Amino acid sequence: MELYNIDARDIDHVLINEEEIAVCVDAIAKQIDKDVEALGGELLLVCVLKGSLIFTSDLARKIKTPLKIDFIKASSYGSGTVSGGNLKISLDVGSHDWDKKFVVIVEDIIDSGNTLSKLIKYFKDKGATRVKTCTLLDKPERREVDLAPDYCGRSIPNEFVVGYGLDVDESYRELPFVGVLKPEVIKKYIG
Ligand code: IMP
Ligand code: MG
């Protein structure tokens, strides 16, 4: 696979290539189609910005069920408890008939699980009865709360990854693959 010229110097290795990502997206799309048919409801994909932008747009084009897309920008801070009010929403979804929806929260990666577990509660509190979680990547080793995604592309080891929407300091989101940065590059950004 051809790496983009500037970034080629920064990537240590490709973890999941374009073709492998497409297979994951396809499988998840099929599962969602099946579940909506079985459980009912109007499909709403909630794209958790910014990391899942690319994943959501690919997924939306593979799902055959008619759907709507909304966006939320959220981060969690403080302790890992789900009950705490420590979910910061900097861009919120619009209004929906939540009880009629089949909500799929689309994340790029689950790390501690804090953000996603708080988002589930956030949508249930709005009145959604069908709330599913979807992530391209999962780092189960890092989990701080009890959470298993309903739809998951790949479980990966505890490594910092970029590409296909995932960033470090807002860079590398445009890479068409998921890759691991060179140690010296990670050091530059994260220390
Ligand atoms: P958590 O599950 O609440 O700890 O946070 C998940 C968020 O952390 C993701 O949506 C990403 O924005 C970010 N994140 C976690 N691991 C990585 C990584 O390896 N690369 C880039 N962002 C990451
Ligand atoms: Mg994110």
Distance of alpha carbon 148 from alpha carbon 136, whole angstroms: 13
111 is catalytic: yes
Contact 157, 141 (CB under 8 A): yes
Question: Which strands form 101-110's sheet, in the order they lie side by side?
Answer: 87-91, 67-76, 42-48, 101-110, 130-138, 151-155
- Dist. CA 55 → ligand 1 center (Å): 14
pLDDT of the residue at 2: 54
- CB-CB neighbours of 135 under 10 Å: 27
| Mean pLDDT value across residues 56-74 | 98
Report residue 99 CA to chain centroid gap.
23
**Ligand 1 atom closest to Cα of 110?**
2
Q: Which residues line ligand 1 (CB under 6 A)?
A: 51, 76, 107-116, 160-162, 166
Segment 92-106, tens digit of pLDDT: 999 999 999 999 999
pLDDT at 174 over 90: yes
The overall average pLDDT reported for the chain is 92
**Ligand 1 atom closest to Cα of 167?**
21
- Dist. CA 43 → ligand 1 center (Å): 25
pLDDT of the residue at 80: 46
**Ligand 1 atom closest to Cα of 52?**
10
What is the residue-wise DSSP string for 82-106? SSSS-EEEEE------GGGEEEEEE
pLDDT at 57 over 60: yes
pLDDT of the residue at 84: 45
| Mean pLDDT value across residues 74-97 | 78
Ligand 2 ion: residues within 5 Å (CB): 51
Angle, CA 70 vertex, CA 19 and CA 50 arms, to 5°: 55
Contact 188, 169 (CB under 8 A): no
By mean pLDDT, which of 6-10, 44-48, 112-116, 121-125 is the weakest?
6-10
What are the φ/ψ torsions at residue 58 (nearest 5 degrees)?
A: -70, -45
Give me the residues paired with residue 18 across strands: none
Rounded to the nearest 10 degrees, the angle between the axes of helix 18-39 and helix 53-62 is 60
Pocket probe for ligand 1: among 79, 109, 190, the residue whose CB has the most ligand atoms within 8 Å is 109
pLDDT of the residue at 79: 54
Segment 123-154, tens digit of pLDDT: 999 999 999 999 999 999 999 999 999 999 99
